[in-house]
Amino acid sequence: MMIATTKFFIGIDVSKPHFDVAVMAVLDHVKQEIRTARFDNTAPGIKLFEKWLKLQKTTFNADSLVVMENTGIYHRLIWSFCSRRNLPIHIGNAAHIKWSFGIARGKNDKIDSIRLCNYAFKEADELKATAALDPELMLLKDLVSARTKLLRQRAGISVSMKELGNVNGKAYQKVVEKALKSAINGIARSIRDVEDQIKKIIMGKRDFKRNYKLLISIPGMGHVTAVYLIGCTGNFSGRPSGKELACYAGVAPFEQTSGISIKGKPKVHRMANKELKRLLHMCELSLIQHNQEFKAYYNRKKDEGKHSMSIINAVRNKIALKVAAVIKNQTSYKNNYNIAA
C-alpha cells in the first residue's frame, strides 16, 4: 500500500500593517481547496500565523514551500519565522513574479496571495529556496543604507548653505552657518559611528572578511563598494555569475529587436540597482585614470571610434565579471597585464 503524500504551497502578500496568506494542499498531485487568512505584520501576528498553519496541517519541512515578494523590510518578520521553523521560502523579485501572471484582472491583497500560492505550485521545481535570514547581514545592510542617507543629508545641507551664501550678506550667512554647524558635525559623527560598526561586522565574521579581502584585491574596488556588494548580494549567497551581476547593476545592455525591426540601441534595464551602478562607475573612473590596463583599454577603444559612455559601460561590465570571478574561485585578483605590451 502506497503512503499518500501531501505538499503545501503557501503564497503571502505582504504590506506594512498586515500580510495575507493563501495555503493550498496538494494530495497525491490533486489540488485541494485554497484557504486564506490575514494577520498583522507584527510579532503577535506571526504567532497567530503559526497556529493557523498548524490548523491547516501544514508541515514545517521540505514538503512545504512559501513564496512572497521582496518588499524591502516589511517581509523580514516572516522570513525570520520561516528560517527558525525550517520552512522553505522563496523571496522573489516582485516585477518578475507579476509578469509571470500574464494579463490578470482584479487586484487586492487576498487575490495576490492566491496568485502567489498558484505561482508556488506551478514553479516549485524551478524556484530556489532563499537562504535563512542572517541577522548580521541584515544589520550590515541597514548600516550601509543609513550611511548613504546620512551622506545625502550632509550633502543637502552643504549645498543649501552654499546657495544661500551666493545671495546672503556675510552677516546673515554667518548666522545660518552657525545654526547649521552643529547639525553638520552631528551627521559627521554619526557617519563615523556607522562606519565603525560596519568595519566591526565585516572583520568580525569570517565569511564576510574573506570575501571583503577578495573584493578589495580588484583594481579600483574600494571599501564602500566592497561592503555594498556583500550586503546587496547576501554575501554572494546565490553565487551570481558575472553576467547576472552585470545585469543586476544595470551595466549589461540588451538588444531591442523583433523580426526585422530594431527598436533603438541596446539599453540597460530601468530596474537595475542604481546605487551599485553608481559605485561601479566610481571604480571605473579610478581605473581609467590610474590603472595602466584599463587606461590603455579606454584609449584603444576611443581610437577605434567607440562612444565614451559605451567604453565606460564596458569597463563597469569588466569589473562585475572580475567580482564574480574572485568570489567563485576564492582567490585574490592577479594582474597579468603586461605594460610593455
Interval 172-228: pLDDT, tens: 889 988 988 999 999 999 999 999 999 999 999 999 999 999 999 999 999 999 999
CA dist., res. 12 & res. 23, Å (int): 9
pTM: 0.81
CATH of residue 79: 3.30.420.40
**Cβ contact 280:225 at 8 Å:** yes
Whose cell is 504567532? That residue is 47
pLDDT digits (tens, 9 = 90+) for 64-111: 999 999 888 999 999 999 999 999 999 988 777 777 766 566 678 899
Say what the pLDDT of residue 1 is.
35
Residue 301's nearest CA partner among 312, 286, 285 is 312
Say what the pLDDT of residue 258 is.
52
Is 53 a member of any domain?
A: yes
220 and 194: one domain? no
**Cβ contact 29:7 at 8 Å:** no
Helix (H, G, I), strand (E, B) or coil at 296: helix
196 and 107: one domain? no
241 and 263: one domain? yes
163 and 228: one domain? no
Q: Which domain covers residue 293, as residue numbers?
A: 208-341
110 and 82: one domain? yes
Is 128 a member of any domain?
A: no
Residue where a domain stops, chosen among 152, 170, 204:
204
Residue 261 backbone phi and psi in degrees, to 5: -90, 145
pLDDT digits (tens, 9 = 90+) for 10-67: 999 999 999 999 999 999 889 999 999 999 999 999 999 999 999 999 999 999 999 9
Say what the pLDDT of residue 95 is.
73
CA dist., res. 90 & res. 69, Å (int): 8
Is 1 a member of any domain?
A: no
Residue where a domain stops, chosen among 123, 149, 183:
123
Q: Give the side-chain half-sphere CA count within 13 A for 199.
A: 7
The number of distinct structural domains making up the chain is 3
* DSSP secondary structure code for residue 168 in this structure: S
On average, the pLDDT of the chain sits at: 88
